[in-house]
């Protein structure tokens, strides 16, 4: 094919810019891939650093906080135990008043004993619940570090009778005895009723005079604290703890009646 002057090598010159452009585009793509890969690596590095930093912060926080075993323990919440014990103490006191009223009657028949017997059986049956509440009360007071100072009456108490009664017995000892052996002394609940029955059956007429056979009652051993006194003492101390009162003549009289039955209130 004939070539005109000036056309030689024109095809070669035209292809060189195209090749250069193609190479440039390939380089740009490669650089973009490299940059993208670098960004991904950098993001991964930041993610690892963030995770490690989070773990370090958590570890430092946990190290600086006190452990549950030595952390300050709030005051013991004994409201549930107080409810059980206080209710029982009030019902036991009401039962004793009914017995006292029955003992004053000039004449008693068997029917008079039926409601008293039912109440006696009910109180004896619930004594295990009271013992469980006392045991839980002891556990909570010890866990809250409130055990050691229990034998010292609160300084805020101004009622002289109540203050004297609280110092008669060790509250800690009363609690421990009640927590371990309250149910074994359930017979103390029914003994006054049985004595009243004996009073009825021992009566006999001799002409116009009615006699009642005297019965011997063994004196309580030294240091003995009755079930009634134990439960009332626990109730009073719990009420003082929860209500923060300075004293109560009613509480004082109730405690005296439970711990010194048949004796006149001296305060």
Per-residue pLDDT of the chain (267 residues; tens, 9 = 90+): 444 444 444 444 445 555 555 545 555 555 555 555 455 554 554 454 455 545 544 444 444 443 332 233 357 899 999 999 999 999 999 999 999 999 888 888 888 899 999 999 999 999 999 999 999 999 999 999 999 989 988 888 888 888 899 899 999 999 999 999 999 999 999 999 999 888 776 654 444 444 444 343 434 444 578 999 999 999 999 988 887 766 678 889 999 999 999 899 998
**Is the separation of the CB atoms in 267 and 161 below 8 Å?**
yes
Number of domains in the chain: 1
**Is the separation of the CB atoms in 169 and 233 below 8 Å?**
yes
In a domain, 5, yes or no: no
In a domain, 9, yes or no: no
With a CB cutoff of 8 Å and minimum separation 6, the contacts of 103 are 196, 199
Q: Which two tokens stand for residue 191?
A: 């003994």
Q: Which two tokens stand for residue 25?
A: 């585009």
- CA-closest candidate to residue 241, choices 23, 81, 112, 32: 81
In a domain, 90, yes or no: yes
In a domain, 236, yes or no: yes
At 40 the pLDDT is 52
In a domain, 46, yes or no: no
In a domain, 142, yes or no: yes
At 203 the pLDDT is 55
In a domain, 62, yes or no: no
In a domain, 91, yes or no: yes
211 bridge partner residues? 204
DSSP class of residue 204? E
**Is the separation of the CB atoms in 157 and 246 below 8 Å?**
yes
Domain residue limits at 154: 79-259
């Amino acid at each position: 094919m004939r070539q005109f002057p000036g056309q030689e090598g024109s095809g070669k010159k035209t292809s060189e810019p195209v090749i250069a452009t193609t190479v440039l585009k390939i380089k740009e793509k490669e650089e973009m891939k490299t940059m993208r890969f670098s960004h991904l690596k950098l993001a991964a590095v930041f993610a690892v650093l963030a995770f490690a930093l989070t773990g370090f912060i958590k570890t430092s926080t946990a190290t600086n906080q006190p452990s549950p075993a030595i952390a300050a323990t709030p005051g013991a919440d004994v409201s549930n135990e107080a409810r059980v014990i206080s209710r029982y103490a009030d019902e036991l006191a009401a039962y004793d008043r009914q017995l006292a009223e029955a003992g004053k009657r000039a004449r008693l028949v068997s029917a008079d004993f039926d409601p008293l017997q039912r109440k006696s059986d009910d109180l004896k049956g619930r004594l295990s619940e009271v013992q469980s509440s006392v045991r839980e009360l002891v556990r909570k007071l010890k866990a809250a570090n409130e055990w050691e100072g229990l034998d010292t009456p609160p300084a805020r108490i101004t009622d002289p009778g109540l203050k004297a009664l609280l110092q008669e017995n060790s509250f800690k000892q009363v609690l421990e005895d009640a927590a371990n052996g309250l149910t074994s002394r359930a017979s103390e609940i029914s003994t006054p009723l049985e004595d009243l029955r004996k009073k009825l059956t021992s009566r006999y007429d001799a002409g116009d005079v009615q006699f009642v056979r005297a019965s011997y009652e063994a004196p309580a051993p030294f240091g003995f604290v009755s079930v009634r006194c134990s439960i009332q003492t626990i109730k009073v101390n719990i009420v003082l703890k929860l209500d923060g009162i300075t004293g109560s003549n009613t509480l004082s009289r109730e405690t005296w009646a439970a711990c010194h039955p048949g004796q006149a209130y001296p305060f």
